[in-house]
Amino acid sequence: MPMTSSPKYLNEFRDRHGRVRRYFRRPGQKAIALPGEPNSPEFMAAYLDALGKVKPAKPRASASTFSAVISEYYTSAAFLALAENTRKNRRSFLERIRSRLGDDPVTAMTQEHVAKILSKLTPAVAHGYWQALHALMAYAVSTGRRKDDPTAGVKRVAVKSEKIHPWVDAEHAQYNASHPLGTMPHLAWALGFYTAQRLGDLITMGPQHVVDGMIHIAKQQKTKAEVWIEIHPELAKATAAMKVTGTKTWLVNERGAPFTDGSFGNAFRRWCNAAGLPQCSMHGLRHAGLTWYAECGATAPEIQARGGHKTLAQAQHYIELANKKKLGRSGGAKVADRRAGE
């Protein structure tokens, strides 16, 4: 079967010895060498064999499939504006959605589908799944892939927040008796209590954050808030007592490397357990630090500035806790005075 025109997918070039080389090269496929001259028996046999062996190119995913929209959402301003941990968690749920619905069009999902999927999950997992799907559908609506959000109006099982245990004076003393001044566990406690920052910000703090005698965080990991914190004398003592700290972060692991969120959380959990305080956590230490700050007379705006809260109402919560303690003490003093008078 002679060919009157150049065979499809045929590539020719002349090598450094002047010989003409011919290859069957289809886009996205490995090149196959072709012997002989075009239209010769050996060439035709190899060409037809190559043509038969080539697998058809995989069609590109439609721009409106779950897989395509998820990939595009990852590059969107809405996704990139999220905190690093939030992006990580959301990506985890979205990849589960991609593995299950990747080739399906986003227009095919209904409220009934969403409700059915969530009904098979535990409340905590369903909450994360819904949040990821809701964000994806909102993006699909904003880009014209859908006219509505099928997650809207879907009733979800309420997820009970884990109760935070705020540290009390006796627990601070017990922890520091187990982890004295000059140890990394003690420095972690001092940073957590006297700055009242979240775990993700604590592990990035270092000497470079000291500006004009204060710790300056240009942008918190979660809320993106700018924070200025005075260096309490006990915190200064804790950093000065360390023989080894990181050059960029005060907190480092046994190898002298900065912690990650997960590794520091696990390490602090071990330190609390070793001190006999399984009920205590870094989140509870932040809570205790902000409450102590309120007990010292800090106002709601001052607490908001220190903690990086988005609203004054969140900061006011710590003042209310501090006031309860103060009222309890003042009330108790009145009772004591009354008894003494009797």
CATH of the domain at 278: 1.10.443.10
Residue 3 maps to a domain: no
Contact 129, 121 (CB under 8 A): yes
The predicted pLDDT at position 69 comes to 94
| 257 and 289, same domain (yes or no) | yes
- State the burial class of residue 50 (Cβ atoms within 10 Å of its Cβ: 0-12, 13-18, 19+): buried
Residue 26 maps to a domain: yes
What 3 state SS string does 193-233 have? HHHCCCHHHHCCCCHHHEECCEEEECCCCCCCCCEEEECCH
Provide the residue-wise pLDDT of the chain in tens; the chain has 342 residues: 444 456 788 888 887 777 888 988 888 788 888 888 888 888 888 888 888 775 554 444 478 899 999 999 999 999 988 877 788 889 999 999 999 898 999 999 999 999 998 888 888 788 889 999 999 999 999 999 999 999 988 887 665 655 789 899 999 999 999 999 999 999 999 999 999 999 999 999 999 999 999 999 998 988 889 999 999 999 999 999 987 666 789 999 888 888 987 889 899 999 999 999 999 999 999 999 999 999 999 999 999 999 988 888 888 988 888 887 776 666 555 555 555 555
Alpha carbon distances (Å) from 151 to 116, 118, 130: 11, 10, 7
pTM: 0.60
| 109 and 20, same domain (yes or no) | no
Say how far apart CA 336 and CA 144 lie, in whole Å: 70
The predicted pLDDT at position 230 comes to 94
Residue 30 maps to a domain: yes
Residue 340 maps to a domain: no
Number of domains present in the structure of the chain: 3
Contact 239, 251 (CB under 8 A): no
Q: Which two tokens stand for residue 177?
A: 């008796």
Q: Which two tokens stand for residue 218?
A: 């240009």
Residue 141 pairs in a beta bridge with none
Say how far apart CA 305 and CA 41 lie, in whole Å: 82
Say how far apart CA 138 and CA 117 lie, in whole Å: 18
Residue 164 maps to a domain: no
| 48 and 107, same domain (yes or no) | no
Domain ranges, residue 115: 66-142
| 175 and 324, same domain (yes or no) | yes
The predicted pLDDT at position 59 comes to 44
| 319 and 243, same domain (yes or no) | yes
| 93 and 208, same domain (yes or no) | no
User: How far from the centroid of its chain's Cα atoms is residue 180's Cα?
Assistant: 32
| 319 and 179, same domain (yes or no) | yes
| 194 and 252, same domain (yes or no) | yes
Residue 237 maps to a domain: yes
> Coil, strand, or helix at residue 315?
helix
| 314 and 219, same domain (yes or no) | yes
